[in-house]
């Protein structure tokens, strides 16, 4: 009798029909055991499936004359690069079902005719202004069309997807990823403060590996379907790389608030041979395809 009293009575189950689960208890329990709550797991949205809704072609060319010092005021890429060398054509597949506004704006700048509106320009005859070896290249910098930069038309809608977390779900996982450049955007501050400013600068990853530093910061909206060899050729183009001493002086100038530091960095990673988009446009898509595989 005494021995039975030495042990406490067994724990009785609670009569409360509602289990007292907190957010912390669910998280801790899920790491140790598998909870049998189908409603909790089914509520999580599945990863997005990128479906190609649009196809765009871009032709890239090399121009040996654009950066010559004897340019006149009226010279543009179209006048200076009549003897350019075609690198090749790239076919881009765009994910209009995931980021329709980003795709629509990009497509508009690929097919718009700048001759119909002298105050705007498309991607045609604009520069690939930066190449970061082994990572990506940048194109579509905003500014003056006579300098090979883009001036988006006033009718181009604002891209509200730049503040939508769902637009940043895809990653820069391989070469040939097409992305709207937000974190790496190097448009001048004066242009960004303009009420008519639109995000149109884009990047394409060149490989050989992924670029995780770009994830969750830039909007992936397409992929290279054909012409990955052209992308590699652009990536192998020699670029301007400042020496270590120049970088140190630049960092010091930026620390003291010297605006010339940012202006000096504008030519870093610039191709030593002019690369530009000599032509671009849309291709018909008869039937949207599922996740593409690169060649």
| Euclidean distance between CA atoms 74 and 84, whole angstroms | 19
pLDDT at residue number 36: 39
Which of 136, 130, 90, 129 minimizes the C-alpha distance to 110?
A: 90
pLDDT at residue number 265: 67
For each of the domains in the chain, give its residue range(s) and CATH number, in order of start: 54-283 (2.40.100.10)
pLDDT per residue over 161-193, tens digit each? 999 999 999 999 999 999 999 998 888 888 888
| Euclidean distance between CA atoms 275 and 122, whole angstroms | 16
pLDDT per residue over 82-134, tens digit each? 788 999 999 999 999 999 999 999 999 998 754 455 556 789 999 999 999 99
pLDDT at residue number 34: 39
Angle at 165 between CA 197 and CA 56, to 5 degrees: 60
pLDDT per residue over 123-157, tens digit each? 999 999 999 999 999 999 998 888 889 988 888 99
pTM for this structure?
0.76
State the residue for tokens 């202006």: 263
Q: In terms of residues, how long is the chain?
A: 295
User: Is the pLDDT at 287 greater than 80, yes or no?
Assistant: no
User: Is the pLDDT at 39 greater than 60, yes or no?
Assistant: no
């Amino acid at each position: 009798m005494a021995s039975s009293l030495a042990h406490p009575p067994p724990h009785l189950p609670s009569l409360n029909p509602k289990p007292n689960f907190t957010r912390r208890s669910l998280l801790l329990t899920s790491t140790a055991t598998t909870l049998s709550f189908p409603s909790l797991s089914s509520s999580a949205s599945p990863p997005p499936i990128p479906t190609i809704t649009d196809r765009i072609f871009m032709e890239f060319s090399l121009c040996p004359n654009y950066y010559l010092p004897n340019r006149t005021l009226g010279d543009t890429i179209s006048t200076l690069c009549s003897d350019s060398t075609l690198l090749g054509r790239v076919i881009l597949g765009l994910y209009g079902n995931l980021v329709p506004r980003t795709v629509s704006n990009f497509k508009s700048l690929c097919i718009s005719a700048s001759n119909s509106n002298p105050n705007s320009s498309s991607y045609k005859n604009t520069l690939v202004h930066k190449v970061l070896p082994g990572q990506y290249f940048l194109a579509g910098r905003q500014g003056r069309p006579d300098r090979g930069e883009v001036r988006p038309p006033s009718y181009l809608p604002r891209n509200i997807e730049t503040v939508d977390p769902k637009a940043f779900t895809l990653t820069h996982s391989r070469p040939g990823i097409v992305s709207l450049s937000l974190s790496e955007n190097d448009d001048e501050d004066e242009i960004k403060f303009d009420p008519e400013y639109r995000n149109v600068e884009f990047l394409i990853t060149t490989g050989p590996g992924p670029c995780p530093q770009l994830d969750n910061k830039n909007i992936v909206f397409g992929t290279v379907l054909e012409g990955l060899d052209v992308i590699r050729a652009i990536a192998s183009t020699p670029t301007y790389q400042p020496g270590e001493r120049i970088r140190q002086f630049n960092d010091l100038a930026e620390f003291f608030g010297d605006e010339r530091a940012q202006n000096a960095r504008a030519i870093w990673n610039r191709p030593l041979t002019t690369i530009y988009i000599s032509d671009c446009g849309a291709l018909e898509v008869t039937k949207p395809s599922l996740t593409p595989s690169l060649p």
